[in-house]
Amino acid sequence: MPDAIGIASGEKTIHDIVADRYSFQNMNSMQSAYKMWLGIDIWKILRKRKKVGRRVVFLDEQIQNILTTRHGIVHRFTVDRELRKDGIEAILDSILVAIEMFVDYLENDHIGLPIRD
């Protein structure tokens, strides 16, 4: 009922409610939310071996590792003291590759409209 009142008063949107219901801290939660609300299969998009930097990795595993690392930093104040510049670059490269794959999917398979300029 509080959500319905929030929507009626304009204080909340459907997007706010959905975001409050799902955790995006692991790939399973992301899959559930994207599949249910947008019909997008995150596993199909990201469960592929891709070249990231000089390595070929399963992209979904890389993204899960990034989410796990972020969770440790935010909630347990843990920091990987072995992480160096090349590791940070690999994280950023993984994110860029994931974004490219997601945009490719949206442009070519899901909505068929150009997103990039």
Q: Is the pTM of this model over 0.85?
A: no
- At residue 117, does pLDDT exceed 80? no
The DSSP call for residue 82 is T
The beta strands (E) that lie in the chain are given as 49-52, 55-58
pLDDT, tens digit (0-9, with 9 covering 90-100), for 90-107: 888 989 999 998 999 989
Residue 82 has which token pair? 């072995």
The residue type of 10 is: G
